[in-house]
Structure 1
Amino acid sequence: MPSVRHLPRGRHGLPREQVVASQRERILSAMADAMVDYGYIGTSVAAILKRAGVSRETFYEQFRSKEHCFEATYERAVTLLLEKIERAAATVDDPETTDEWTIRSNRMDRIFDAYLDHLVEDPASARVFLVEVFAVGSPAVARRAELQRLFVELIAEVLDVQTDAQMFACASLAAGIGGMVTGRIAAGDMAGVRALRAPLLDLVHRGGALYGNAFAEPARR
């Protein structure tokens, strides 16, 4: 998780809202970090409190239960990931100097790069939505499916999907990526996560019209 600063000790004169927000961030970060060591099932509220440096009273002022805290931790992790991917997708080469095929290829490369880099740079966050989510229950798994749907829609837009078959292929691609990165994150194989970028982009290129019209042969001419 990104580092979370603790508030200064003693009287600091900070607004109550800022204090509460800081405590919440520390709790969410602490839960993600604790699950790296203990998993969701093995992570106790006491372990979260110790890492966050807050009292039990402070914890229950913000969260009804450990599961409620996980839900907030999950939403935080997903928000951080989506923000990074969306920033990468929004970066587009100059159409005056770059052809459409290359523009779409570069966007796809940036999306894969942003996604994989985020997993490597924030492995605790990655474990939240890739690994630990399955230990929480159906609502959390359904939320993970929603995250994957958003990823599929972004890929489909870049690859210029026009048919149901192409959309299905993109969904299968996203599911395959999810499976590959989940295994590597669970094993702590960060080099393996990074190594996926080049072959994934190559797969999309070689797939041509399978995934969308962006890399169909006529599109390159």
Structure 2
Amino acid sequence: MPDTPQGGSLAHTHEGKPGLPRGRSRLPARAVRASQVQRLCRAAIAAVAEGGYADVTVADIVRRAKVSRVAFYTHFRTKEDCFLAATREGGKLLADGVVAATRAVPPDAPDEEVLRAACRAFLQFLADEPAFARAFYIGMPTAGPRAVARFDAAERR
């Protein structure tokens, strides 16, 4: 599912597009680092959604992100670290959307209306970000003990 609308914004990769400039550039180092991390996280979501966590390699992620292996290891120690960072980002966006939806409900509304708004926002996020949904709900339980612990904690929240 490389860079398809069905993947959602969290799986938008740079396959088939130019990478960041090699070597020194006019871009501030902070902007380059932020772009690399974002590219790597989105590439990890896309790769895991497409192929499953176990079959994804660091090489798959850096190819999709259009960054170097050195850049990968500058930001992450392992594939698991990258994947956990990516799912943390997606989980935060999901939670922020649910909270915003519940806060948009009038304060005097019945609890049922607040719950409906939360469920609607949750399900809409998953519909808008199907690659993230696959990576999170299918990939996380297979990605090792740290991922399982984070998955369980997210489920409880």
TM over 0.5: yes
Unaligned runs of 5+ in 2: 1-7
* One-letter identity of the residue aligned with 2:27: L
The alignment partner of 2:67 has SS state of coil
| TM-score normalised per structure 1 | 0.59
| TM-score normalised per structure 2 | 0.82
Q: How large is the RMSD of aligned CA atoms in angstroms?
A: 2.1
* One-letter identity of the residue aligned with 1:31: A
Change (3 A) 1:112 1:145: same
Deviation at 1:28, TM superposition (A): 0.4
1:66-215 correspondence to structure 2 within 5 Å:
66-93=79-106, 95=108, 100-101=109-110, 104-150=111-157
Deviation at 1:140, TM superposition (A): 1.3
Q: How many residues align?
A: 144
* One-letter identity of the residue aligned with 1:111: A
The alignment partner of 2:99 has SS state of helix
2:3 aligned residue: none
1:18 equivalenced with 2:25 (yes/no) = no
1:27 aligned residue: 40
Query: Of the candidates 72, 75, 82, which is equivalent to residue 62 of structure 1?
Result: 75
Query: Of the candidates 36, 43, 50, which is equivalent to residue 37 of structure 1?
Result: 50
Question: Contact conserved, 1:77 with 1:126, CA < 8 A, in 2?
Answer: no
Query: Of the candidates 41, 47, 52, which is equivalent to residue 60 of structure 2?
Result: 47
The alignment partner of 2:126 has SS state of helix
Q: Distance in 2 between matches of 1:115 and 1:126?
A: 11
Deviation at 1:4, TM superposition (A): 6.7
Q: Give identity over the alignment, percent.
A: 33
Q: Distance in 2 between matches of 1:12 and 1:35?
A: 31
The alignment partner of 1:131 has SS state of helix
How far does the alpha carbon of each residue in 1:139-173 deviate from its partner, in whole angstroms, 9 at most, with x for none? 211111211222xxxxxxxxxxxxxxxxxxxxxxx
Q: Distance in 2 between matches of 1:90 and 1:69?
A: 32
Deviation at 1:108, TM superposition (A): 1.5
Question: Contact conserved, 2:102 with 2:118, CA < 8 A, in 1?
Answer: yes
Structure with the greater alpha carbon radius of gyration: 1
Unaligned runs of 5+ in 1: 151-221
Deviation at 1:54, TM superposition (A): 0.4
With a CA cutoff of 8 Å and minimum separation of 6, indicate the structure with the bigger relative contact order.
2
Q: Distance in 1 between matches of 2:55 and 2:13?
A: 23
Q: Distance in 2 between matches of 1:38 and 1:129?
A: 13
